[in-house]
Amino acid sequence: MASATATSSWIREVEPDVWEIPASAREDMRVPARLFADRELLDAISGDQSLEQLQNVATLPGVVGAALAMPDVHQGYGFPVGGVAATELPDGVISPGGVGYDINCGVRLLALPLSAEELGERREALVHEISRRVPAGAGREGQLELRDVELDRVLVEGARALAERHGIGTAEDVERAESNGCLPGAEPERVSERARRRGAGQLGTMGSGNHFVELQVVERVHDMRAARAFGLEEGQVTVLIHSGSRGLGHQVCTDYVREMDAALARHGIELPDRQLACAPLSSPEGRAYLGAMACAANFAFANRQAIAHRVREAVRATLGPEAAEGTRQVYDVAHNVAKLETHGGREVCVHRKGATRAFPAGSGEIPAEYREVGQPVFIPGSMGTASFVLVGRPGSMERSFGSACHGAGRRMSRAGARKRVSGKELRRELEGAGIVIRSASARGLAEEAPFAYKDVDRVVEVVERTDLAARVARLRPLGVVKG
């Protein structure tokens, strides 16, 4: 792996907020490595191995255009988190490390039919009720345990399986989700028995790490037209849900990293990092992983659907049936997936790891009611900072295979965060700022301290200046439930 000094000697700003390491920087690079960032973010990003990992991604067979990094990028497994890469069909590769272990970790936004002022002193009771109804923490299981045929239906149909067969969520929820809450091509037989066992009881659960359910208020509207289309207005209460495919997705990644690593020599693939283990999309290993990954992604869509259902139950118990019935889904976006799409006349597999699809107005992939303004994009901050609703812009199709960033991005390790603050201290600080906290783990709370993340306002400004997505609304936290 190249040193940070070697990388910094090659990187150049090719236009405002766009940096590039040319393919000539290394003999094995097939395309440039490109980063969206301002100078301050570049300095933060240069502190870990993410740019070296991005150069490694640029060596993958079949990669086209450039290996891309969003302004929230940080070091990950194989691919950096915040990395985007497209490989051309049929013989370009697919890499589980380019999707990640938490397949379809994503975000769903709910809008409540009341203002923060109307919520008033019931805020703490609502956060508490959400924490009671949504199991949080590593290994936690929920109330809905599906096995065999019923689990297969979720793996194939995603969110729709819960809405139609179990009354969990609505048809409108399904319509207001990326890919209608279901990736095509799912093949349950490609999912190992161990993965199925790990996921069977975890629908409707949050997990640990940076997963959360956050009660928020729309602090400011930046784009009135898009906000009206999304059903958002200043002062309104919202709930942001961040979770993924839990143990099932983790096991799918584990299984296929191992399988592809063993097949590298047979496919004649040499890699600078074994964590990039991959296989041609047309190969048996590549096709099998696509089928299993789609299952895990569909499980994650269903998981967020079940969590949203529990949130509505909490709203009903705390605020009454009218508030629950009026709690509508704005949208649901995936972070960690690989999708077959057409860009520049090429059929490609777009790996988005810690990146969000950001299609502009007019795309047939967007729900009809949003098509005139563009796809909603959600950028969570951290517990003590703002989150953003954005809308996809035409520049994303020209520059980033229809992608934008997915959050603020870590700038400090979890261990580093724990050294700086205890969970107890952080809880006091956040509650002193008026944010209600419910967390299953003091250690996990400390790991997600706001100072461990980059400045989300700065990240979003870069995304906007480079025309990947534009701000619609700024959301401020009122309460957080974490694992």
Q: Could you list the active site residues?
A: 406
Q: Are strands 63-74 and 33-36 parallel, antiparallel or unpaired?
A: parallel
Q: Which conformational region is residue 39 in: left (phi greater than 0), alpha (psi within -120 to 50 degrees), or beta?
A: alpha
> In whole angstroms, what is the distance from residue 469 CA to residue 371 CA?
15
> In whole angstroms, what is the distance from residue 434 CA to residue 448 CA?
18
> In whole angstroms, what is the distance from residue 273 CA to residue 264 CA?
12
CB 342 within 8 A of CB 87: no
DSSP 452: G
> In whole angstroms, what is the distance from residue 68 CA to residue 122 CA?
44
Tell me the one-letter amino acid at 382. S
CB 426 within 8 A of CB 448: no
Q: Give the DSSP per-residue string, 17-55.
A: TEEEE-GGGSTT-SS-EEEE--HHHHHHHTTSSHHHHHH
DSSP 453: B
